[in-house]
Amino acid sequence: MKTLHGDGILSIIEKIMKNNKNQNNPTIVITSDETMMSSYTGGIFLGFSTCMPTGIFPSWLYFKTIAPPVPRKKGRAIQADYGLRMVEATLRENGFNEQEVAVVHPKDLKKTIGDETEIIAVGGHDILGINPPTSEFVEFLQTGPPLNRLKFIELIKQPAVQNRTLIVGGKSAWQVAEVDIMDRLGINHVYLGEAETKLPETIKSILKNEEVPRIIHSNQPSTHQIPSIKGATIHGLVETMRGCGRGCDFCTPSMQKIRFKPIEKIMRDVQVNIDSGLNSILLHSEDILRYGSRKITPDQQKVIKLFKKVSQTQGVKEIKTSHISLSSAYHNPDLIQEITEICMELPNQEIIGTQTGIETGSPKLLNRYMKGKALPSTPNEWPNIVEQSLGLLNDNNWFPACTLMYGLPQETEKDVKLTLDLLDNIKNTSKIVVPLNFVSMEGSALSNDKSFTAKDMQPIHWILIGECIEQSIDSIKKLQKQNKKIMTPKGNYFKTKLVNYFIKFLINNSQKYIKDLKKGKPPKDYQNLKKNYRKPEI
């Protein structure tokens, strides 16, 4: 029998440690900042709180209680942002295996990144905090820079990230797509567009030390190029379509070609989420009512088939939707009713949450910048469409979070007054109204226009914001009285109490401004700011 001496034992231990290390050191690490890697204790609309600035609520407490990390196992995220999952799936379908590609929470980068790790791919929705509503919240409150910006900078400055090839992509990658910004932040490449077409070849070229452009522009993939996800997503989000088809000039999804994923592919993604232990599915689209229809009129049979398939999947207890069009709802009330009947049969379904765009009460602005929004009706009918569709949604137990755009180019005081008139007509409906300042975003038809800032605000804009805040608070309080848990977690007494405290904290801090806002008075002197947190310091 061979005896192992000290050197032999040490050699074996080193080999074991090396093998274990290799198992945890993927070649490509996919990640995002902390604001993107949480389920927000299950409250879908609480995700908006990641747009707030620092100085409002203690950040350490926020990330422990309101936006705690997603579940992780052995350094890998069990749930992750859908965009990260799509990058993972795209690479896995193009020659990389499970050991080589890992989706990782930023807190786990240090223990996951190792000698074999060559590429860090970072995604995000608003990495520098200059999209609405982040830019608006930060500029108005002036308490500090936004959480998403701070956490993004914190992520890419981690020692573990250094000396690797850093690629930044996602919907807000345009914010850093300038060589001087990239150099200051240590970003090697910025990837603009959808992952499926050019990302695999880009990654392979980097690994071969081939020449790769600093800024990569991708093409739009067809639906057969879009792979099925390999791991669960936050909120059980499942993509059903890409693109919008209504053509709003200020929006980026409207610039995408409209494409629908086959139901078989959607159901595979549903099953991946259910198999991971989730029981709620969030159907993502720009308008779920138009799933399967290239025309402006919904294909009701396809939409109903989709909802029935998902609802009949063993383990699904609740269905949510990311977006709908108010015009689609208005012109198809029977479709809303039938979807409601399907969803309300599920054991955890109390209400159906969704997001939608009101944007304006001015037919003139609608005709100029978002003519397709009211179709098949005319822009002149838009105010009535908004009023009637919100009533229809509420009657069917839907609760929408609505966006409203102000400061569009060539907007007049009359346009804002018409929007205020519309708000007055819908004041008794249940909804959240999030007022958004116009931001000139790369990839939109208005990318060359000037963004609208606090310095551009007139008294009537402050009145508009005050009205939106007041109506939103009234609706949230109404939901809380009805014990509807669209913003709070289910089944956990402690978490529910904690989230309710956070919501109450935000409401109380907002209410103190409403009276002056509705008089047209700004919260601060924005003409003479000593520091403007809206502009990133990088």
DSSP assignments along 361-412, one per residue: S-HHHHHHH-GGGGTTS-GGGHHHHHHHHHHHHHHTTEEEEEEEEE--TT--
Which residue do the tokens 């709802």 mark?
329
Are 291 and 238 within 8 A, CB to CB?
no
Each residue of 277-330: pLDDT tens digit?
Answer: 999 999 999 999 999 999 999 999 999 999 999 999 999 999 999 999 999 999
Query: pTM for the complete prediction?
Result: 0.91
Mean pLDDT calculated for residue range 502-512: 85
Each residue of 370-389: pLDDT tens digit?
Answer: 999 999 999 999 999 999 99
Q: Which residues contact 92 (CB under 8 A, 6 or more apart)?
A: 98, 101, 227, 230
- Confidence category of residue 484, pLDDT binned at 50, 70, 90: low
What three-state secondary structure class fits 282? strand
The CA angle 50-322-473, to the nearest 5 degrees, is: 55
pLDDT of residue 3: 46
Each residue of 11-35: pLDDT tens digit?
Answer: 544 544 444 444 559 999 999 999 9
**CA 511 to CA 470: how far, in whole Å?**
8
For the ranges 192-196, 459-463, 492-496, the lowest mean pLDDT is seen at: 492-496
Are 263 and 305 within 8 A, CB to CB?
yes
For the ranges 148-162, 288-302, 503-517, the lowest mean pLDDT is seen at: 503-517
- Confidence category of residue 256, pLDDT binned at 50, 70, 90: confident
Q: What are 485's two structure tokens?
A: 């848990």
Beta bridge partners of 406: 437
Which residue segments constitute the domains of the chain, with CATH numbers given?
25-229 (3.40.50.280)
